[in-house]
Amino acid sequence: MKILFDLDSTVTACETLPYIASHFGLSEDIEATTLNAVRGKLDFEESFRQRVAILGKLDVGEVADVVTTVPLHDSLADFIKTHADICAIATSNLDCWCAKLAGKLGCRFHSSKAILSGNRITEISEILDKKEIVCRYQDQEEYVAFCGDGHNDLKAMQASDYAIEVAITHSPIRALTDCARLTVHSEKELTDALNSLLAGKVII
């Protein structure tokens, strides 16, 4: 079994790009775009590139330090650390921003990639295809559960063997609810569901 997690508002208790923007006084340029992308009102890839174009002007090391302070869903983070051999993160966020946070969680981390010049981002070289990560593990004969909360998680959730919609930070999204086996509204519900999966129990 492999349990894959979206990062923002699934493992973290908020969206990381607005969190970064707030730290550097750029909230007005980021917050609305992020929310509309999560809800599927904006094309995710286009909106992500727009947001990276703004935040990419910041020092990468400073941003990575800020990301390590993003609040986590603590019991979920503990679950991931305890079961790091079967857990993995699949995030569209950038490797250069999330590497230190990945180290804190201790599990496999799949992320988008950027090209740097000095300590600044010049361009995005690859935006992670979360569905491809699901299929890669399935090709290794793994049973794959995917936990996500945003519209850009939809294809990965549809491809997974067991999809959990995480409606803790954001309200449920109809498309995700329709394809999910389970929608959870609290961190406890999520960790209980994951423990039940590990125990081989069927969740209705």
pLDDT classification of 200: cutoffs 50, 70, 90: confident
Of the listed ranges 32-41, 80-89, 98-107, the least confidently predicted one is: 32-41
User: How much is the mean pLDDT over the chain?
Assistant: 93
Q: What is the mean pLDDT of residues 53-71?
A: 95
Distance (Å, whole) CA 147 – CA 9: 11
Q: What percent of the chain has pLDDT over 90?
A: 81
pLDDT category, 202, cuts 50, 70, 90?
Answer: low
Spatial strand order in the sheet of 120-126: 120-126, 108-117, 87-94, 2-5, 144-148, 162-166, 182-184
Average pLDDT over residues 112-136: 96
Q: How does residue 203 score in pLDDT terms, banded at 50, 70 and 90? A: low
pLDDT, tens only, 131-180: 999 999 999 999 999 999 999 999 999 999 999 999 999 899 999 999 99
Give the CA distances from residue 84 to residues 41, 77, 127, 165, in Å, rounded to whole numbers and listed in that order.
Answer: 34, 10, 24, 21
Per the structure block, which two tokens stand in for 156? 């990965």
Nearest to 88 by CA among 71, 74, 102: 102
Determine the pLDDT at residue 8: 95
Residue 159 near residue 134 (C-beta atoms within 8 A): yes
Domains of the chain and CATH, by start: 2-198 (3.40.50.1000)
Look at residue 123 and tell me whether its pLDDT is greater than 80: yes
What is the model's pLDDT at position 47? 86
Q: Is the pLDDT of residue 204 over 60?
A: no
Closest CA to 168 of 191, 153, 186, 147: 186
Q: What pLDDT does 21 receive?
A: 92
Contact 80, 105 (CB under 8 A): yes
Per the CB < 8 A criterion, the answer to whether 16 and 150 are in contact is no
Residue bearing tokens 């590139």: 49
